[in-house]
Structure 1
Amino acid sequence: MPTLFRNHTDDFTALRSLRRVGAKFQMRLLQGPGLDGFDALAEVGELRLLSPGELTSLDWLPALTRVRESALVMTAPPLSMEDIESFLSRLDIGGETAVMTSE
């Protein structure tokens, strides 16, 4: 699966186009992607976290509440149940299920 390292509008536009033909992507975020990135994430539906600390990043966490078009699959380092519960309590993804796995 391709890994996205940068926050460039062209990258997200490409992801949207490929997603429409059934491609699946894994987004590896080195920093918060911004609102445009989360518009794309709503279609891509998978997010890889590099560290548990990213769960509480105020730069992008509120934007996740806008993810409504697909279930969000999160791959993350080992997390405490408190981290997971706190994170899930902030999500509103339109009735879909947030799935988190540990590496």
Structure 2
Amino acid sequence: MRPKHIIFDVNETLLDLKPLARRINASLSSDLAFDIWFSALLHYSLVEAVTGHHEDFSKIVKATFEMTAAKFRKVIPEEEIKSILGMIKTTATRRCP
């Protein structure tokens, strides 16, 4: 029997997310902010994939960041959100040491 789907997890294996984690934690004033955001991001993106409702990943990234910011009672300006989340694109070009 051949598998129907194969899922690869490259986060924190091939991608260095530490700079992004520091930036998110600083912007939301909590050492837990990145972990909460990243967990929500993985959850919602997996739900989208499994249910076959494929939303643009960048929309999920932004929506989960805004939900996380709201948990910390923070309102982050749109330009700052773009700057912070734009770091995701640069993690794809770096490898973890």
| TM-score, reference length from structure 2 | 0.25
Higher relative contact order (CA 8 A, sep 6+): 2
Q: Which structure's CA Rg is the greater one?
A: 2
Higher strand residue share:
1
| TM-score, reference length from structure 1 | 0.24
Higher helix residue share:
2
